[in-house]
Amino acid sequence: MGWTRCPHGTAFGIPRRIDPGETIRANRLRRMARQQGLDLRPSTRRDPRASEGTYALVEPGTDTIVAGFTLDRIEAYLLAALRTDAAGPPTP
């Protein structure tokens, strides 16, 4: 109830379910990342219990992973980057 089947398949034969709230949050973070010149991509690893997490921030031109793990850590990274940019360059 309230969960949808993940289009990416299963992990160890167990269907992965995505909370609609997580999908909405991921879409919001994807827009934030795009504004900062990054892509938010689902992890290529299909084990949600893996320590690497389920998402990665990637530089589009080089496919370099900037940050990964959970949506919480991705959000913290993006917000910290926004605060740093908003503060502007340091004054001499």
Residue ranges of the chain with pLDDT lower than 70?
Answer: 1-18, 45-53, 86-92
Q: So what's the pLDDT on residue 47?
A: 61
CB atoms within 10 A of CB 74: 26
CB atoms within 10 A of CB 38: 22
Q: So what's the pLDDT on residue 33?
A: 94
Segments making up each domain of the chain, as ranges: 19-87
Q: So what's the pLDDT on residue 66?
A: 85
| Inter-CA distances, 71 with 1, 7, 13, 89, Å | 22, 18, 24, 28
Distance CA 31, CA 11 (A): 27
pTM of the model: 0.66
Q: Closest Cα to residue 19, out of 51, 43, 48, 41? A: 48
Q: Where are the alpha helices (DSSP H) in 1-92?
A: 20-35, 71-87
